[in-house]
A and B are shown apart, each in its own frame.
Chain A
Amino acid sequence: MCRILSYLGTPVPLDDLLYAPDSSLLNQTIGAQMLQMLNLAGFGMAAWDETSHAPNVPFRYRTTQVALFDRNLKALAGKLRSSALLAHIRGVPYNSTVQINEQNCHPFRFDGVPLSMAHNGDLAGFRDMRFDLAPHIRPEFAKQIQGSTDSEWIYALVVSALPEPGEINEPDAILAAIRHALSVLREARARHGITRSSSTNLMFCDGTNLAAVRFTFDFGHFDAGALQGSSEYLSMWYTCGRDYGLHEGEWKLTGGAIDADSVIVASEPLTRDFATWIEVPEYSALLVRRDGERRRAEIHALEV
């Protein structure tokens, strides 16, 4: 299983999000709080800097290395300040059937598409049903699928359902595309008789908007006597505020929700003390959108 982190707000040094907090994303490689698993199968990020050349295009970095040992990433994170981030560490079953390569590292982002996506979870029976998904994927995106993950196909389904995949879409359009993709998956599962619990915790970011989805198909369905992993709903948490940084010895957003301009969403809180973090509800999406000079955050019910 994987861990994801996304940030949208005033620019902050990447080191402060990826490394500094006591349960930072990279510390979750070997010491996640809410997942009994190591996340050793790669790292990836897309990070937006409004002051950079072509600000709508993110810095991208993906590696199959265990990122904790990656000096290049550490050096980059100390130098970059980002107003938006989508980062992911990949956790996979501990056996040789899994393909570890750069094409399977999240986040995914097709050429010419501003929206990036990272996934935490897995689709049971994906190899049986994946070709049922192909008719719902636009040809220009189908040919860009390079890896072997279920995640990249979910991404292809979502961007194929966007009205203008080459543009920054409104969060409502992104959410509608997500709903459509989940419906396609639900129908394919039904056709193939797949009923095993399958988590699709997803985070999308285009540098302007953020959408985070906490969703599981057939939650709580496992084969008798052969429970797969955890029987708990995969976690997702968020916090909001302003001026993210080290305040009174604690990494946090501060200033009160009423002055907030920044949001962090993550598979689990970045600090061991998660007093200022709140869960994204199950079967729901958190949308963060621009509203003039402000941002709005909304919880949307997801019934698919």
Chain B
Amino acid sequence: MGEQAQVPAQLAGFERDEWKALLGNAAPFAVAAGDVLFRQGDHADTLYLVDSGLLEIAARIPGDDNAVISAIRPGEVVGEFALLDDGPRSARVRAIEDTHGLAISGRRFRALLHDGSAWAVRLGVALRRLVASRTRATLQRIVAEGHFDPHALRQLHAGPAPVAAKAGASDLANGLARLRGFEAIATHGTLLDAPRGSTLVGPGEGQEGLHLVLRGAVRAAVPRGAMAEQVFVFGPGCFVGLTGHSDGGPQPLLVTAVEDAKLVHLPAETLSALENEMPSWLPLLHTAFGRQLVQDQRKANRHLGRSLSLARFNHAGELG
């Protein structure tokens, strides 16, 4: 385990003691060249830190095709969704070379996170940042590759900014399944009315906290000239801006209200203050952040897979 004395760059931010505690909760793993570490659709409960070797991540797309997504090298991690979300594995990971490293059980991580164990809290932050950076990379690929179906583009509406609203955020938050147990978060910001078409954030703009949708819906899209390519629709109980909030980068997409919406703006300063005050529901908020980041990453990947498979489907039989 000597090589793991160094914190992988993807998990930066650990104190020495926290990393030592993490290593104490990890177990060795090894996978031979050609073998599969896990398959897409498998039950997921383990995060892997790679010490040596080379892994390949591939996802299946319609038609039972495979699309190679990326490679995992020493010092990198794979399988991070398992610790943030209870969904199945989203891709297959196969060893290209003999690979070994350390594995961290999701069950153990969650139990220790619930108890407020410092290394588990730190790992949660690092994994959310990692998933956000992966989503950012997927979005950059969507922008760069431009496989979009032209029929799927919509008129770009960039309307006025939302205005302050009067109704009680607390009443609107109660009953939303996604906010169960931490509805109080809705009272920590400013309630806004966002009429259909109003702009929350433009692409490339700095991120100032988060928006929480309480009613209506918000669309995040890639601008394509005078048109827009929809990537996400966020409904009641969803946070908007988690990618930038988690990795510190600018908002990558144009975000507008797709229906008349009521939103809470949670300033970055307020969110930082909550981390210090540690209300009893803070772990539930962190869990919700992690789960939605994974859902957003899955959705961005499906968007890419859809564009790719439709392009292949529609060129079936063409020579070239």
Residues of chain A at the chain B interface (Cβ within 8 Å) = 218-222, 224-227, 230-233, 238-242, 247, 252-261, 272-279, 281-284, 293-301, 303
Contacts and interface: CB of A to CB of B under 8 A. Distances in A.
B294 to A, nearest CB: 15
A274 B165 CA distance: 41
Given A279-B306, A294-B316, A298-B151, A220 B62 contact: no
Contacts of A252: 64
B235 A257 contact: no
Interface string B148-190: 0101111100000000000000011011111000000000000
B309 to A, nearest CB: 4
A30 to B, nearest CB: 22
B174 to A, nearest CB: 6
Interface stretch (B2-10, B126-134, B211-219, B243-251): B211-219
B237 interface: yes
Contacts of A261: 316
A301 B219 CA distance: 13
A298 B174 contact: no
Interface in B18-32: none
B81 to A, nearest CB: 14
A240 B313 contact: yes
B317 interface: yes
Contact of B259 (A220, A260, A273, A294): A220
Given A225-B171, A227-B176, A300-B151, A282 B233 contact: yes
Contact of B149 (A240, A258, A279, A298): A298
B63 A278 contact: no
Contacts of A241: 62-64
Nearest to B150: A298
| Best-surrounded residue of A275, A284, A296 (most CB of chain B within 10 A) | A275
A301 B237 CA distance: 25
Contacts of B313: 240, 257-258, 260, 295-297
B64 A258 contact: no
B258 interface: yes
Interface residues of B, number: 50
A257 B176 contact: no
Given A260-B62, A279-B306, 17 more contacts: A220-B213, A220-B235, A220-B261, A225-B174, A239-B62, A256-B64, A257-B61, A258-B313, A260-B63, A273-B40, A281-B306, A283-B230, A294-B317, A298-B310, A301-B151, A301-B230, A303-B155
A169 B153 CA distance: 24
| Best-surrounded residue of B64, B154, B306 (most CB of chain A within 10 A) | B64
Nearest to B301: A278
Main secondary structure of the interface of B (DSSP, over half): mixed
Contact of A278 (B155, B171, B302): B302
Contacts of A298: 149, 151-152, 310, 314
Interface in B295-313: 299, 302-303, 305-306, 308-310, 312-313
A210 B91 CA distance: 30
7 closest Cβ pairs, A-B complex: A257-B312, A257-B63, A241-B63, A273-B41, A299-B152, A301-B154, A275-B60
B65 interface: yes
Contacts of B261: 220
Contacts of A219: 216-217, 233, 235, 258-259
Given A220-B213, A283-B258, A296 B314 contact: yes
A106 B21 CA distance: 59
Nearest to B230: A281
A255 B41 CA distance: 20
A292 to B, nearest CB: 9
Contact of B64 (A224, A254, A293, A303): A254
Contact of A303 (B40, B154, B306, B308): B154
Nearest to A264: B62
A256 B312 contact: yes
B236 A220 contact: yes
A82 B23 CA distance: 57
B261 to A, nearest CB: 7
Nearest to A218: B259
A178 B78 CA distance: 44
A124 to B, nearest CB: 14
Contacts of B40: 273, 275
